[in-house]
Amino acid sequence: MRLVLARNSKSALLAGLFITLLLGGCVSTGPGGKSIDLDKARETHIQLGLRYLQSGSDNREMARHHFQEALKLGKKDPRAHHGLALLYQADGELNVAESHFKKALRYDRNFSMARVNYGVFLYQQERYREAKAQFLTASEDLTYNRRSFALANLGRAELRLNELDGAERAFTKALALSPGLPVALLELAELKFQKQDYEEAKQYLDRYTEKSRQVPQSLWLGIRIEKIFGNRDKERSYALALKNLFPYSAETLKYQEMKAENEQ
């Protein structure tokens, strides 16, 4: 504990020195007197806040400090509000987090990263229709460099709303932008299986397993697909992996129930 505190104290000292140097370096003498580059100072506070936030719970207070300092230099900065939204979400202060998400989007309607993170926030609270609206708007931003993730999240929200055709379109678009996106491959495999398009389901699952770590959903789907095709060895291989790696998962319970039914 002492080592962590010492490291944080040193980081705080360096961060404070960095800000002081920045402000000092931006002071210039001219006809209008001294001026400070507030935009650059605000940007530095935001970047430091994000760095502290990403480094773990021990540094959240330093993150909070920098985001608040950024807002002192510009109370309508959407990135500072976004940072505080993520911070308060991590703290479990959901009402405060949502207020900052809304401010970030009020001050910059085109802030797609904040919109996606707000959608994830809503999805986690099972507010799927509201989440879908945020993901949909972000997915239509052709300049957003993580548009495939917005589309994948849109598909997941539509699955929760039982909008299966819309979900399939969203996942397909996500794969067009990012062909190896694991969540889109796995969800499309599941959707194709539900539609009894077993060949395509297997193709999507094979693409998923080529580069992605197995999860209970992928193993359970593999069991059902291989059972359809009568590939007993592959079915047993998936079943063994499911029982050994995830013995207490819901998918393992489903497999045990299916096995018991077949033995009757």
Contact, 185 vs 208, CB < 8 A?
yes
Classify the C-alpha dihedral 71-73-79-83 as positive or negative.
Answer: negative
> What pLDDT was estimated at residue 27?
41
Question: Residue written as tokens 């002081």?
Answer: 20
How would residue 85 be classed by pLDDT, with cut points 50, 70 and 90?
very high
Q: Is the pLDDT of residue 59 over 70?
A: yes
**Looking at domain 38-109, which of 3.40.50.720, 3.30.530.20, 3.30.930.10, 1.25.40.10 is its CATH number?**
1.25.40.10
User: Which one, of 25, 49, 50, lies nearest residue 37 by Cα?
Assistant: 25
How much is the average pLDDT of 243-247?
Answer: 97
> What pLDDT was estimated at residue 35?
56
What topology does CATH give the domain 119-195? 1.25.40
How would residue 192 be classed by pLDDT, with cut points 50, 70 and 90?
very high
Q: List all residues 6 or more positions away from 110 whose beta carbon is below 8 Å from its beta carbon.
A: 141
Name the residue ranges covered by the structural domains of the chain. Answer: 38-109, 119-195, 213-263
> What pLDDT was estimated at residue 235?
96
pLDDT tens digit string along 143-166? 999 999 999 999 999 999 999 999
How would residue 196 be classed by pLDDT, with cut points 50, 70 and 90?
very high
Q: Which residues pair with 35 in a beta bridge?
A: 28
Share the mean pLDDT of the chain.
Answer: 88
Classify the C-alpha dihedral 212-218-223-226 as positive or negative.
Answer: negative
Q: List all residues 6 or more positions away from 120 whose beta carbon is below 8 Å from its beta carbon.
A: 131, 153
Q: Which residues pair with 28 in a beta bridge?
A: 35
